[in-house]
Amino acid sequence: MTVVTEVPGYTHAMDGAPGALVRRVAAGDNSAWEPLVERYKSLVWSVVRSYRFNDDDASDVVQTTWLRLVEHLDRIRDPDAVGTWLATTARNECLAHLRRKGRQGVSLEAVPEVAASGPSPGERVLAHERDAELWSALHHISDRCRQLLRILASDPPPSYQEVGAALGVPVGSIGPTRARCLQKLRERIAAKAHPDDLLSSP
């Protein structure tokens, strides 16, 4: 079932505060649905992608997350915190999907979506090399760091409340953890760029 649909004539502008959009959709105003999805689709996808599902599984979980929002629109206690609600729901749906699959690990096939147009061929080659280096480094840090950094990279940036809900961690721990994870990522990239430095390390 396809939940995310287009509203004819809508210009994709961010229209209204999240809570107001939720209330409008709950009241039957379908024109508020697309700006609500536009505001949070990156957050939902980043949470799901952080579990490293393959494309089909990731798409299923994302659609299920939006379906849960439709089902619970009139029962959300704080519509202004719908981002936190979506992050929590996306995380829960990921865990439920893993339980249904009956496995502890997940596929490494998922890759980030890239734009179909924009940079020149030369720029795309350089960007591909840079991204490959970054993703290689990400695969050598902890799963928790990888999840955190992917979610924080959402556009628009999620709040710490949304990140905490997505990962099931206290909000106060996110800043220090982010700093440690970024330092580990920098060290990994630097070590790969200067492998001889590893030989002189104590």
Average per-residue pLDDT in the chain? 77
What tens digit of pLDDT does each residue of 161-170 get? Answer: 999 999 999 9
- Tokens 């494309």 belong to 55
Cβ partners under 8 Å of residue 122, min gap 6: none
Alpha-carbon gap, residue 116 to 13, rounded angstroms: 21
Q: Which of 91, 87, 85, 64 is nearest to 73 (CA)?
A: 85
Burial category of 10 from C-beta neighbours within 10 Å (exposed 0-12, middle 13-18, buried 19 and up)? middle
From 40-44, 59-63, 118-122, 134-138, the region with the lowest mean pLDDT? 118-122
- At residue 42, the pLDDT reads 94
Helices (DSSP H) in the chain: which residue ranges? 18-26, 33-49, 55-72, 82-101, 121-138, 143-152, 160-167, 174-193, 196-199
Looking at residue 141, what is its pLDDT? 82
Q: Give me 58's structure tokens.
A: 């990731």
Q: Give yes or no for residue 10 having a pLDDT over 50.
A: no
pLDDT of residue 194: 54
Higher model confidence: residue 152 or residue 113?
A: 152
User: CA 144 to CA 126: how far, in whole Å?
Assistant: 28
d(CA 72, CA 58) in angstroms, rounded, equals: 21
pLDDT for the residue 37:
94
pLDDT computed for residue 142 by the predictor: 85
The whole-number pLDDT of residue 192 equals 67
SS3 content of the chain, % helix, strand, coil (to 5): 65, 0, 35
pLDDT of 116 strictly over 90? no
CB 145 within 8 A of CB 167: no
pLDDT at 117 over 80: no
Please report the pLDDT score of residue 35 as a whole number.
Answer: 94
Question: What count of other Cβ atoms lies within 10 Å of the Cβ of residue 68?
Answer: 17
DSSP 32: G
Task: Decide if pLDDT at 27 tops 70.
Answer: yes
Tally of residues, the chain:
202
Q: How far apart are CA 75 and CA 83, in angstroms?
A: 15
Specify the higher pLDDT residue, 58 or 128: 58
Highest mean pLDDT among 11-15, 148-152, 173-177: 173-177
Q: What is the model's pTM?
A: 0.66
> What pLDDT score was predicted for residue 169?
92
Query: How would residue 118 be classed by pLDDT, with cut points 50, 70 and 90?
Result: very low
Radius of gyration of the chain (CA): 19
